[in-house]
Structure 1
Amino acid sequence: EASETKAPTQLFIEKIEQRYSIGMVIATLAVFCVPLAFGDTLQSALLRAMTFMIVASPCAVVLSTMPPLLSAIANAGRHGVLAKSAVVMERLGQVDAVALDKTGTLTEGTPRVTDVLPLPGSGLDEDRLLALAGAAEHPSEHPLARAVVRAARTRGLALAEATGFASSPGAGVTATVDGHAVRIGSPARLLPEGNPELDIMVRSLEDGGRTAVLVLRDGAPVGVLGIADRLRPDARATVAALTELTGRTPVLLTGDN
């Protein structure tokens, strides 16, 4: 499909190629005949005309667009980049800003729980907090939810069965675990006002490059989980190369920290 599409430059070349070719043939004949008519030698006139025809080659003009585009599409494919069309490849040369997804693009896409922080007075230790969060997140397919469940299983924790599970994109999940209403999500949505200790915990995690996940039980905060995803080894070099190419630092698209 990509090889069958035509870029704007190619469409323009196809419009003028016939007229250009005829014009170059006429011009070549003129370059040959005019000097010959004024007494130039046949060899000199022919050499001059041949040189002009080669330099102004209509074939080179006609072939100046599609072969390079096909080569670029094939080269991109060898590097794991799928080009939708020749139009896209041509427009890439005009790109001055790049937006990148984070999870699985700049990172390895396998987030892991790095911090389990129960709030003082919640009555929970690290294992009980992680088990509570893991039970509520178990039905979810979100990468961060899978990280929480994986961390709980790594510790050998038993996960209670959650009922009434509901997931809200960008907000988190809610479920009932052991008779308690559990809500897990972004501190930006769930962090209550007037709780400086909790605010400091969240800010400390985010300043360290982790994603903070707030855990509420029966409407009250009981702890915070810190989740991090490792950068791909070539992420830094890729961002630097894109910055150099476009003259602008790429934009990061993420719902996490």
Structure 2
Amino acid sequence: MFTILHIDSSARPDRSDTSRHGSHTRRLTARFVARWRAARPGDEILYRDVGQNPPSPVTGRWIQAAFTKPHAREPWMRQVLSESDALVDELLAADLIVAGVPMYNFNVPAQFKAYIDNIVRVGRTFGFDRSRPGDPYWPLLDGDGKQLAILTSRGDHGYGKGGRLEAMNHVEPSIRTAFGYIGITDVASVAIEYDEFADERLAASIAMAELEVDALVDRLLAARPSATGRTEIEAPLYGGG
């Protein structure tokens, strides 16, 4: 069974296609998942709303627990890591992560950063050994074939590759870095811009982003086993706008 992990991180609880002040990223992730479900209703969809239910931030006790060998952990350490373990288990179960991540002050929302801090885990998603020759760190999910789709939104415009504000965009680059560190490097992104302008440019950007989401879903579906069980050639996501 193919499993999708659907993550929303917007502080806005509603979607922009159902509410005047709703979230554009929730709109895009919902569209992605609905299109996928229509084509493959038997696939599993895991849902995590970190925007409305943020993970606990990393603390000193969390760090102590995470860097203690599992066999040596005290009961309180296992309790401190229980939420992180649940988030990591979801990630490990997923073949495709669909993450709605709006830009807040040039970076990801604090809620999503807390999520990243909980799933970048020594011994679970990356390895660490001081005695290892060369780099003591290595990704544990490398080779698992996991893919990541980042669906984002921005108030201004020109944050994409070659754009006037590209250097100020720390959303996709920071997500790619964190997920690449644990071994998830097949990444695509779609963005809505002009949110703060609220004019025809925003409408056009939404329409274009929805078409890009549809095309991304169709490309991924084409790489999945058909209803007859025949498997097509794998198609990488690569990194779109």
Structure with higher Rg: it is 1
TM-score (norm 1): 0.21
TM-score by length of 2: 0.22
Whichever structure has more helix as a proportion of its residues is 1
